[in-house]
A and B are shown apart, each in its own frame.
Chain A
Amino acid sequence: MREEILEILRDVRSDIDYENEKAMIDDGLLESLDIVAIVGEFNDAFDVNISVDDLLPENFNSVDAMAELITKLQEG
């Protein structure tokens, strides 16, 4: 799943070092338009429904946090 997430992220924005970045939201690297695009792609790719309630910085600050959120949503 990690690889797939990285692919989606690189597709949306190619100028961020996703592997090492741990504060993508807190540092303002990802903008609101990027987040909407990423959420849309995640929803399609992993068959989940990320809602506005899940849009907490801690869920999107790093690739691992995103993977964790998706896993949590897949498990219901």
Chain B
Amino acid sequence: MAFASLQFVIFLLAVCAVYFITPIKARWAVLLVASYAFYLLSSPNTLIFMVVTTVATFLAGRAMGKIQDRYQKRIDEAKEKKDRETQKKLKSESKAATKRIVVGILLLNFGILATLKYFWYYLETILTNAGIEVPFDAGILIPLGISFYTFQSAAYILDIYRNKIRPDKNLAKLALFFSFFPIIIQGPISRYDQLAHQLYEGHTFDYQRIAFGAQLMIWGMFKKLVVADRIGALVDTVFDNPGQYEGFTVIIAVICYTIQIYADFSGGIDIARGAAQTLGITLEDNFKRPYFSDSVSEFWRRWHITLGNWCKDYIFFTVSLSPTFGKLGKKSRKYLGDRVGKLMPVIIAQILVFTTIGVWHGAELKYIAYGWYQAVIIISGMLLEPYLKKLAELLRINTKSFGWKVFAIIRTFIIIVIGRFFSRALSFNAAIGMFISSFTWNPEVITSGAIFELGISRWDALILAVSLVIWFIISVFQERGVEIREAMAEKNVVVRWAFYLLAIAAVVIFGAYGSGYDGAEFIYREF
């Protein structure tokens, strides 16, 4: 089902109506039925894969819980006897026993993900390259939201292993946590301890909350339909015909793509968060005005936050604090010096994190290059930090000044824009070719108006410019801590409703609904 569409709004209204008339205790069941219905309406052939992951993860969690309980009893007995040695031994035995289950279930779930998302893709590519006609479309086999629910299930299992949460005793409730319809298309990747209890407890009807949720959805649709889908036309023209364009055309296209992906993805997240909010459920935010970041590492703390946090908790810390890499760091201090040696485990962890982020987007070389490009910049920043500090002192640059901050934001934005060549171009080679061709000096494409013949007319450009200025102003307010919706709620009823109606009208009138338009086609749905 299309997410940014009237059907979805009607679906959500129906779910809300049933939800709020059902007895509080049974309200979670309404969400489960709605989520499975949404899945069946969107991706009916692949439901089985989500069911397998859900049931297997549930059983693994329960088995781990039983082992932990059994050992805990014996640990408590040893504690009473003040027998520290036995306590320690039992703790490590319990860890070892649960670890086997963790490895098994992660292999199964990530194995399904790898097979469906990557293996078929490779097979299809190899067969096509060998000149063999492929009788199937590998894309059809990729279940809706597989990356999202697989990452959520891994976090669930690892949190049980780390004693952060207790395993769920109710299969149907856990099935809801993995399938909750607002998050299945493109996240946010939610954690069990943050989301599950909100889904299970019934929420009462609250007009203000529903109004806030609806406003967030309208804002998301504005980003998606007015900005992303309009600007995407030029991006597609230029990127789908590599080698045909150069200079300013390519530069404008890659900047447009940088805006498009943010509008598309954050718009989708706003719709998801808004939809959940109408039901009384608060989802984590996935974006915090990432293009205001003054360094690449800050960008990754503000962009796709829930994926970044997932990587931080389950890859970065696991690797950088593991005894094996700790030892490696100590050994490498001998050869690389104290500072670099100490950074070694962190550097390895960063490489793994950004490889994961690259592969998350797809199995192709261009995505891995996209991840590594970010890693190289962040690691270079870490290694060069003391030298850059000295250089700034030497040149008497005040790195706390407003001017420097603006410079750092623009510098970071340019770095991010260059990275976008890899994530959008048709292939790694096309990305490199387009990047090189962007250095051609051809300002006449702008002065002659040729740029307006690539999918964005002058009229479109005007709508985009106004939309982006509005978005920018709102972002500056948010950056200063202003809660826009709360501030609006304090205005009188006429101003408020005039504003809401204008916003809805803007989405309906200025949304880019070309022929063959499909509101479900979020870029991140593919990941």
Contacts and interface: CB of A to CB of B under 8 A. Distances in A.
Nearest to A32: B312
Given A56-B164, A76-B84, A76-B88, A50 B321 contact: yes
Nearest to A76: B84
Contacts of A32: 312, 316-317
Contact of B320 (A36, A49, A53, A56): A36
A33 interface: yes
A53 B321 CA distance: 10
B382 interface: yes
A32 B346 CA distance: 10
Contacts of B312: 32
A36 B321 contact: yes
A52 B321 contact: yes
Nearest to B162: A53
Interface string B13-36: 000000000000000000000000
B317 A76 contact: no
B351 to A, nearest CB: 14
A35 B346 CA distance: 11
Contacts of B322: 52
B357 to A, nearest CB: 15
A29 interface: no
A43 B325 CA distance: 14
Contact of B346 (A33, A53, A56, A75): A33
A32 B312 CA distance: 8
Contacts of A33: 346, 382
Contacts of A39: 321
B316 A55 contact: no
Given A32-B312, A36-B317, A40-B326, A52 B84 contact: no
B342 interface: yes
Given A32-B312, A37-B342, A52 B162 contact: yes
A51 interface: yes
Interface string B332-350: 0000000000100110010
A52 B318 contact: yes
A31 B326 CA distance: 19
A55 B323 CA distance: 15
Contacts of B162: 52-53
Nearest to B378: A33
A53 B342 contact: no
A55 B87 contact: no
Contacts of A49: 323
B342 A40 contact: yes
Contacts, number: 38
Interface string A17-53: 0000000000000011101110110010000011111
A65 B224 CA distance: 44
B346 A36 contact: yes
A76 B346 contact: no
B163 interface: yes
Nearest to B316: A32
Most chain A beta carbons < 10 A, residue from B297, B320, B323: B320
A33 B297 CA distance: 10
A52 B319 CA distance: 9
Nearest to B353: A32
A31 B318 CA distance: 15
A36 B345 contact: yes
Contacts of A40: 326, 329, 342
A19 to B, nearest CB: 23
A41 B107 CA distance: 34
Contact of A53 (B163, B297, B329, B345): B163
A47 to B, nearest CB: 14
A75 B85 CA distance: 11
Nearest to B346: A36
A40 to B, nearest CB: 7
Contact of A55 (B88, B301, B321, B342): B321
Contacts of B87: 76
Nearest to B85: A76
Contacts of B346: 33, 36
A44 B200 CA distance: 44
Nearest to B345: A36
Contacts of B321: 36, 39, 50-52, 55
Interface of B: 84, 87-88, 162-164, 297, 301, 312-313, 316-318, 320-323, 326, 329, 342, 345-346, 349, 382
Given A35-B317, A52-B318, A76-B84, 5 more contacts: A36-B321, A36-B346, A40-B329, A43-B326, A51-B321
Interface of A: 31-33, 35-37, 39-40, 43, 49-53, 55-56, 75-76
Complex A-B, nearest 4 residue pairs according to Cβ-Cβ distance, in ascending order: A53-B162, A36-B320, A52-B317, A52-B321
24 contacts: A31-B301, A32-B312, A32-B316, A32-B317, A33-B382, A36-B317, A36-B320, A36-B321, A36-B345, A36-B346, A37-B342, A40-B326, A40-B342, A43-B326, A50-B321, A51-B321, A52-B162, A52-B317, A52-B318, A52-B321, A52-B322, A53-B163, A75-B84, A76-B87
